[in-house]
Each structure stands twice: as C-alpha cells, then as structure tokens.
C-alpha cells in the first residue's frame, strides 16, 4: 500500500501548493474507519481507497477529489457519517463522498425500468459535480485490476457492467485510455480464449516482421528531422479488445486486419500539426476515406486531433494521430482536464471543456418520457462517435456516427424534423435513410401537412429524433383514438336511447377516474375501456335492459314486415355504424354504410333509399368483415395471428393469400364480428402484434350485391 507521504509526493509532482495536511488527515481518518476490514484478496481494505486516489493523481486532479477518493467508502461501509465528514473535511468533500456513495448503491446493470431510473440518478449526480463520476471510474478501474479475487460469477457480472456502462462512459468523457483499459480488463474476464488468441498472433507477427512500432516511429522521426519540426513520436500496438471488436464488426480474420498499430505525433502548435500531416502524406500513401480533422471540428468532449491512415512499411496500414501538447493533455484527461493542476495552480488549458456545458450536451436531448425511451437515449448518447455536417449557410452540425438526414433535421428543430419529406446531400436528392458522412452539406426539404411515420423510428439514431417521433405518433394516435371513441360512444348511447353529450361524457369521465372527457374518449378508442362500461356507469338500468342479445333477423329497424335485408359485400356495415338501405325488386333491402362509395350510383333514385338504423342491444357475432393484413414471413406468425383473433372471441370464416414475398405475406382474413366495437378490439390486437406490418379494413367495391 502507498503510504501517505508517497501519495502526497504524487500530488506535489503537479501541485506543489497542495494541502498536504488535509490529505494526511483524510488518509489517517480513512485508515482508522476501515480498520479491521479486508478485501476478498485478504489485503487490508484501505489499500483500495489509496489506490483509487493514486489513479486520480495521474489525472492531476484537485485536493478535494483526492481526499474524496480516500474517503469514498467511509459513509457506505463504516460508522462514519455525512455530518462527521463535513465537519472534519468541509461540505465540498462531504458532498462528493455522499455522491460516490449513492452511485455505489445504484445497480446499473439491473433490468428495464429500474436500470433506467438508476441511469437517471447517475446523470443527476453527474450534473451536480462531475468529479463524483471521476472517482467512481477510478474506483471501478482498480476493482477491475484486482478482480481475480472475486467469485467467477461475480467477475462476469462486474465485467459485463463495466463493458456496457463504465467503459463507454469513460470514452464519452474523453478519457480514452481509461476506456481502453476497462474494456481490455473486462475482455480478459468475459472471453479469455479470444484475448489470448490475439496476443499469440501478435507475438507471431512480431517474430515474423520484427519490431514494427520501433521501425515506423524511427521513420516518422527521420522525416520530421529533415524539415526541422520538433515533435515527440510514440507508437503502440492496439489493445486486444479493440482488435477483437474490429474483427467482429468487419468480419475479418486477424491476418486481413489493417491498422493494428497506432502512432501519435505531439508538437508545439496547430500550424506544426498541418505541416506534419503534409510530411506524412508526402512520405506515405494516404488511405482514402480515413482522414478526420478534429482540430477544425472538435468533439463535444473537447477531443482535438488530426487522424490519418497511411500505408507504411511493407504496405502495412497504420493510423497516425497529430496534435499539440495542450490538446494531448485534454485528450488524455477528457472532461477531467477542467480540474487538473500544474505548478500549484489550476491549469488554464484553452481546450479543456467546461463540465457544465458538457453534461448539458449529454442530457439536453434526453426525453422525459417513459423509462425505456430514457435508457435507450442515454445509451445512444454514451456510445456515439460523431460526424460533422454543414448547413446550407455553412454552420456545423454535430451528429452521432450513423446519423441520417432525419437526425439532422431534428437536431435543427423538432418542427423541421416533423415536416421533413426529403433531403439533399451536397446538392443531390437522397433517401431519408442515407447515412451521413463527415463534411457533407445537408439541406432539408419540408412540406406542410407532413407528419412523422412509424417507420422513421428505425431510420434515426439520435435520442432527440426518436423521442420527437414517438411523441408525435402518440399525439396522432390519441387524436385518432378520440375520434373513434366519439363514434363508439355515440353508437352505445343510441342503443339505450340516449345522446352522448359533452356533459354526459364529462360526468362519466369523472365517475370512472379520467381527467376529462377527451381522456375517456381516447381510452374508448384504444380499447382500454368499453363503451358498454361507460353506458353502465351512467345508466345501469338501461344498460341492463339492453343486455339481451338481438336476434340476427331483427337486427335492423326501419323495415316493413315483408322486407328482408342483407349486408352489402362492398362496405360490410356493422352494428354501431350509420347505415342506409337500398331496395331491390324481389331481393329485399341491401344495407350500406352511410359513407359507402357505391351509394353514388343511387343519388338520382331517392325512391329506393330507406332510412335504417341498428337495433339497440348486444348483437350476435355473425357479421362478416374482411381484413387486409400484411405479416412477416416467419415460422409460426400466421398461427399467432389466428390465435390472437380467437382470443377476441371472433371466428375466422375464410382466409386467402393475395401476395407472397420472401419477407412478407399479404392476405385477406374474413372474421365474424358482433359490432363496430368488436371490430376495433380485433384491429387493436392485430396492430399491437410485432409481426403484423399493416392491418386495415378491406372493402371490395368490385363485388356486386
């Protein structure tokens, strides 16, 4: 274990004016509080907080953060209290220790809504003071370095949590070195065979081709000396997990993988960066499409560098990163650079990101909707790399890699996204699902009346766009459900001889616990509530009287005793819908829905029209309606659809396929229903099924009476 004077010496290396007494007192207090506690390895527990503090000295952090590291488990695991820590070390340290304690209690790898809520708490802690996360990341890094003493199942759980949450978070904060080490430590636990295989291949490659890193580093130095540019050159083989991920993403064998070596050139000025780029491109052939200029367009976490990939010795591809020394400091520390010290004073690095602005950029686009959406948006923000596009006026828009013109439109304004109909990239019209690339100019074309489509959810990648689309679709669905609910309520009230007035609906809403009549109608339209329930709530005696099933032979009122009726095949009217009859000599009366297009041919024959309406009460399920359904071409889908219809107490009387494709089937299903409410129950159930791409009421206007 590092003793207190050695720890103070580490701090004084970058901050000679540090408060050594504060660190000594925190060290002694933490050691006393953890007295008698041991880690799984058998070591004294206090070795862990000291190691965490040492990791944070590598990032040159302030005294409060170092002291927090020494005390970060005291409130959680000892008899220490917040009040005591505040009294001894100040409110700032107490707040930080309390923040780390709360994060320690969050189970970020838990499931679904609990995980989403815990992520929300994580971001709240970050927004209060980002140093809480810096301590937590250092805590996790040391735990991963010493994970072998844990049980195998606990190792796997911690490694998965680290790989899924802490490593991406470190990367999003700009601490790339920490992300790589966390990933590699997790990789060692989760897939040791793959990691060892890559290491063995590296050793074989080194035996065959020699020390490539040393050779290429020497070549770059030689070229820079020729033009008298002073710069430091470093090279290294990439981490095993980074190589493994590329092999998986590109489906390549190790022997075919390029740019497994990375090199950094660190110089004094931005002008030197571009001079060095010219020298490297003159000496080696640049690989097309592998150049990124993060000097002119920095990442949101403060990262600045020039990236280029060239064909080096023997045609081997190598990535070269070029940056200034100040940029390198920020690139290593990320957002933590804001708190770093040099020579006893806070380092005024012009490239360090203001943590408040950074956390705002992380959270401003996170939807306040349900848990699943929040969790999805957080992960999108954490895992995203970025592309930079231009507006027609030349302004820069930053988006995650894989973003589309729709993401771009929503990043400008929600109204632009909602009304987007097409886009132009560099002046050429492209589909909305096109993936954007660095440096492209994007123009969005909008139209009044355009609304987001459900398919857009699968096109966009940003949390902001997904949230806006879902919000619009919910509003549109609600409007549709309210309209349908009005029709269902009207029909149900007419069955008992009443009118669905606004006052009646408001009264029913209050009695049933809805906020207002619009919420009641939306619930009716979405099948969350039945119209019968509304009627029973207001008129229980009338609803009971109307509860007997209506005989199918007397389902329609308005006919003479000698007249018979049939439902028209074209519109297939149902009880609950407004209807009209057309008389046929010797054939009785044919019933049409009031909006049936077939009625146009009878406009000049008013003597054939008969005013009809459905009998009130419960009708038998004998009224056939045809559905036009598109389903996925997968095993078991058709069976599930038939079961789903049966669960709604509806009988399938016929089924025929109209189109067969490799990925979908289109078919017409004839179903026997009671009334329009029964129709809506079946349609809602089908629409909710994942493998149903489309469902609509099929009306065949070619069929004769």
- CB burial class (10 A; 0-12, 13-18, 19+) of residue 210? exposed
Cβ atoms within 10 Å, residue 370: 12
Active site residues: 76-77
Q: Tell me what percent of the chain is helix, strand and coil, each rounded to the nearest 5.
A: 50, 20, 30
Task: Give the C-alpha separation, 642 to 392, whole Å.
Answer: 52
Three-state DSSP string of 217-276 = HHHHHHHHHHCCCCCEEEEEECCHHHHHHHHHHHCCCHHHCCCCEEEEEEECCHHHHHHH
Beta-strand pair 442-446/420-425: antiparallel
Q: Is the dihedral of CA 366, 410, 460, 659 positive or negative?
A: positive
Q: Which letter does DSSP use for residue 162 in this model? A: I
| Residue 386 near residue 398 (C-beta atoms within 8 A) | yes
> Is 205 in contact with 213 (CB distance < 8 Å)?
no
Buried b (16+ CB within 10 A) or exposed e, 544-571: eebeeebeeeebbebbeeeeebebbbbb
What φ, ψ does residue 588 adopt, rounded to 5°?
80, -150
Do 53 and 81 meet the contact criterion of CB atoms below 8 Å apart? Answer: no
Query: Within its chain, how far is the Cα of 212 from the centroid?
Result: 41
Give the span between the Cα atoms of 459 and 402, in whole angstroms. Answer: 10
- Rounded Cα distance, 190 and 573, in Å: 61
- Name the residue among 306, 286, 288 with its Cα closest to residue 296: 306
Long-range contacts of 167-173 (CB under 8 A, 24+ apart): 168/379, 168/382, 168/383, 169/133, 169/137, 169/382, 170/137, 170/334, 172/301, 172/362, 172/381, 172/382, 172/383, 172/384, 173/130, 173/133, 173/137, 173/301, 173/334, 173/335, 173/336, 173/358
The secondary element (H helix, E strand) that includes residue 207 is: helix 192-209
């Amino acid at each position: 274990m590092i003793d207190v004077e050695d720890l103070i010496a580490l701090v004084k290396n970058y901050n000679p004016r540090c408060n050594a007494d504060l660190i000594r007192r925190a060290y002694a207090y933490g050691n006393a509080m953890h007295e008698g506690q041991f880690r799984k390895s058998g070591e004294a527990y206090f070795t862990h907080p000291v190691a965490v503090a040492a990791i944070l000295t590598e990032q040159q952090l302030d005294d409060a953060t170092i002291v927090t590291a020494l005390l970060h488990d005291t409130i959680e695991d000892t008899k220490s209290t917040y009040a005591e820590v505040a009294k001894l070390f100040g409110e700032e340290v107490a707040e930080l220790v309390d923040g780390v304690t709360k994060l320690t209690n969050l189970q970020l790898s838990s499931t679904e809504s609990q995980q989403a809520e815990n992520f929300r708490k994580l971001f709240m802690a970050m927004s209060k003071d980002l140093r809480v996360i810096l301590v937590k990341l250092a805590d996790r890094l040391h735990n991963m370095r010493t994970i072998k003493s844990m049980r195998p199942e606990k190792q796997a759980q911690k490694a998965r949590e680290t790989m899924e949450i802490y490593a991406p978070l470190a990367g999003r904060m700009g601490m790339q070195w920490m992300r790589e080490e966390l990933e590699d430590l997790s990789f060692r636990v989760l897939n040791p065979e793959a990691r060892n295989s890559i290491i063995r291949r590296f050793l074989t490659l080194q035996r065959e081709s020699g020390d490539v890193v040393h050779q290429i580093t020497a070549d770059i130095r030689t070229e820079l000396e020729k033009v008298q540019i002073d710069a430091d050159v470093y090279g290294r083989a990439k981490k095993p997990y980074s190589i493994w991920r590329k092999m998986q993403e590109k489906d390549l064998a190790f022997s075919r993988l390029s740019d497994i070596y990375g090199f950094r050139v660190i110089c004094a000025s931005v002008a030197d960066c571009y001079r060095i780029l010219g020298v490297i491109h003159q000496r080696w052939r640049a690989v097309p499409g592998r150049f990124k200029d993060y000097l002119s367009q920095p990442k949101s976490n403060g990262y600045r560098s020039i990236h280029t990939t060239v064909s080096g010795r023997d045609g081997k591809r190598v990535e070269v990163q070029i940056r200034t020394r100040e940029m390198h400091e920020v690139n290593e520390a990320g957002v933590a650079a804001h708190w770093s010290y040099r020579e006893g004073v806070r380092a005024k690095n012009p490239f360090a990101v203001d943590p408040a602005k950074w956390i705002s950029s992380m959270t401003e686009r996170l939807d306040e909707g349900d848990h699943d959406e929040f969790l999805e948006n957080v992960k999108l923000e954490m895992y995203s790399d970025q592309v930079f596009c231009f507006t027609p006026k030349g302004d820069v828009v930053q988006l995650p890699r894989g973003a589309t013109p729709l993401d771009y439109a929503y990043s400008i304004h929600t109204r632009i996204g909602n009304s987007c109909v097409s886009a132009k990239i560099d002046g050429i019209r492209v589909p909305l699902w096109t993936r954007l690339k660095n440096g492209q100019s994007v123009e969005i074309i909008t139209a009044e009346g355009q609304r987001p489509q459900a398919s857009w959810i699968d096109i966009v990648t940003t949390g902001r766009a997904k949230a806006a689309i879902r919000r619009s679709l919910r509003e549109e669905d609600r409007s549709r459900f309210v309209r349908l609910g009005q029709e269902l309520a009207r029909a149900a009230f007419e069955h008992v001889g009443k009118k669905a007035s606004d006052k009646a609906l408001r009264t029913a809403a209050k009695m049933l616990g809805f906020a207002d009549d619009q919420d009641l109608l939306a619930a009716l339209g979405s099948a969350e509530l039945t119209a019968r329930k509304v009627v029973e709530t207001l008129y229980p005696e009338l609803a009971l009287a109307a509860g007997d099933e209506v005989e199918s032979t007397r389902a329609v009122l308005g006919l003479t005793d000698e007249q018979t009726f049939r439902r028209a095949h074209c519109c297939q009217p149902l009880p609950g819908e407004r209807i009209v009859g057309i008389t046929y000599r010797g054939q009785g009366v044919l019933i049409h829905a009031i909006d049936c297009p077939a009625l146009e041919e009878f406009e000049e024959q008013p003597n054939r029209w008969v005013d009809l309406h459905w009998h009130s009460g419960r009708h038998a399920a004998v009224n056939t309606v045809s559905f036009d359904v598109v389903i996925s071409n997968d095993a078991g889908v058709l069976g599930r659809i038939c079961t789903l219809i049966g669960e709604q107490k509806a009988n399938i009387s016929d089924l025929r396929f109209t189109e067969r494709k490799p990925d979908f089937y289109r078919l017409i299903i004839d179903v026997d229903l009671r009334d329009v409410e029964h129709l809506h129950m079946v349609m809602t159930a089908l629409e909710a099924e994942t493998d149903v791409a489309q469902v609509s009421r099929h009306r065949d206007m070619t069929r004769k009476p």
